[in-house]
Structure 1
Amino acid sequence: MDTLHAALAWLDPLFIAPYRLPGNALAGFGLGTAVLALWCIAFGSALSLCATRINRRRLAELRHGMEHHHKLSEAALRAGDKESYKAVNSQAHEAFGHYFSLGGAMFCVSIIPLPFALAWMDMRFAGATPELPWDAPLVGQQPSILFWFLLLYIPLRIIYANVMSRIGWFTRLQAWAATPPAGSIPRDEPAHGSAPGPAPAPGPGGPGGPDCRDGRSGRGG
């Protein structure tokens, strides 16, 4: 805790500077908090890119697994093999669950700066936040630091994402961070294709005819 307090005190001149630019205290609080939120968003975005780069192979494998099993489930459905469809579709859902969980971890990485920013604001503005002209439900007449910070952070993050998605160098940086090592996915191809479990059956009259096992195509021999 002492180390964190010392680090925040060291950063204090940088963080407090935007708050002192306007002559009005309320305007200064709004401007300073907005700038602090933007710093958190930009730094969190950089951390998220680093995490994506580190986990790029795993992300690509999970994405490939979702697409691969989705195609297999569609093939099984077209062939009328419900058992194979259910099994492969279950594997696709499992891959999606892992991909979603890893995506949630990437989001958590992007909000790492928030607790430090809130800790600094608490150190600076505890009990001295702006007051509302009325007593609002849940937040009262003098909302907490968290309320004022999130009030600016959430819309600024949405705007930041929309703006940066239109900037060429940033989209190229995102693509570079997510690009897996060369040849990593082709090496996984046989593993997905040869994994144990039911496979989609060929169409009527196809070679091998796995449908003969349940008697549906026994007359086609």
Structure 2
Amino acid sequence: MQDWIIYLDKIFLPFYHILSDPVLAYFLGTFILAVMCIFLGELLVGIAFYANRHYVKKLTNDLVSWSNLSVEAVKKGDTEAYHTFNKEANDVYGKLFFLTIAHSAAFLIPIPFVLSWMQFRFGNVEFPLPFYVPYIGDSVSYIFTFIVLYLPAYWLFKRIKNKLPVYRYFNQIMQESSEAVKEMKSLADLLEERIKASKAKHKNIAKSKA
């Protein structure tokens, strides 16, 4: 047996001894593990984002800058400049997108460890269902029960997240880093401006004819 499994056994097993009823104890213990996964996962996401916050801010500013330049090029009718600026914007967006994916992946890190421990402890345990369910069968394993309990645990965390100082601080940093996006222009804005200008032009022509 691997040492880290033994270590986790000492940490997690007491959660399954809180209640005397074995079934209720199992569900309570699993719910606590789900909550721990979410809290730790969100903490890891916050730490990862904090460590890269300056790089994220730089990429966001670069994205806004190149995107706005491409829109200005469209305004001027400079097709070559538009393609150049748009290519740069797409390259920066790709870097920002994959960095965001990497940050989000940190949220899932605790889950494999918890499920490995549950496999060690409850790998042979099956919970019978009252009826047969397609693609699932007539019983479920520890994985299914963990997922079912993970959902309300996540909902609960979202309700209290901003009331917890550490998570509120990380959330504030994430929001501040994305403020620059509000300054980004879009081709839709340019189209709207042209439509308004066209309407105003036709209105003035109609007035002059009258």
* TM-score bin, normalised by smaller chain: 0.7 to 0.9
Local SS of the residue matching 2:8: helix
Higher-strand-fraction structure? 2
Local SS of the residue matching 1:138: coil
Q: Which residue of structure 1 aligns with residue 64 of structure 2? A: 67
CA apart distance, 1:97: 1.4
Comparing 109-118 with 71-80, greater Cα deviation is found at: 71-80
1:54 aligns with 2:51: yes
CA apart distance, 1:152: 2.0
Q: 1:155 to 1:64 in 2, by over 3 A?
A: farther
Q: Which residue of structure 2 aligns with residue 146 of structure 1? A: 143
Higher-helix-fraction structure? 2
Give me the whole-angstrom Cα distance separating, in 2, the residues matched to 1:12 and 1:169.
28
Q: 1:178 to 1:6 in 2, by over 3 A?
A: farther
Q: Identity of paired residues, percent?
A: 28
Local SS of the residue matching 1:43: helix
1:164 aligns with 2:133: no
What is the TM-score normalised by the length of structure 1? Answer: 0.70
Moved runs in structure 1, 4+ residues, more than 6 A?
Answer: 177-180
CA apart distance, 1:165: 3.4
Aligned partner letter, 1:96? Y
2:85 paired residue among 83, 88, 94: 88
What is the TM-score normalised by the length of structure 2? Answer: 0.73
Root mean square deviation, CA, Å? 2.4
Give me the whole-angstrom Cα distance separating, in 2, the residues matched to 1:42 and 1:22.
23
Unmatched tracts of structure 1, length 5 or more: 181-221
1:135 aligns with 2:152: no
The total of aligned residue pairs comes to: 177
Local SS of the residue matching 1:132: strand
1:78 aligns with 2:81: no
Aligned counterparts, 1:8-19, within 5 A: 8-19=5-16
Q: 1:67 to 1:159 in 2, by over 3 A?
A: farther
Unmatched tracts of structure 2, length 5 or more: 178-210
1:26 aligns with 2:15: no
Aligned partner letter, 1:47? L
Comparing 56-65 with 19-28, greater Cα deviation is found at: 19-28
CA apart distance, 1:168: 5.6
Q: 1:48 to 1:27 in 2, by over 3 A?
A: same
Give me the whole-angstrom Cα distance separating, in 2, the residues matched to 1:159 and 1:98.
32
1:44 aligns with 2:41: yes
Q: 1:14 to 1:66 in 2, by over 3 A?
A: same
Q: Which residue of structure 2 aligns with residue 101 of structure 1? A: 98
Comparing 24-33 with 37-46, greater Cα deviation is found at: 24-33
For the 8 Å contact 2:50–2:170, the answer to whether it is kept is no
Aligned partner letter, 1:146? I
For the 8 Å contact 1:56–1:178, the answer to whether it is kept is no
Local SS of the residue matching 2:126: coil
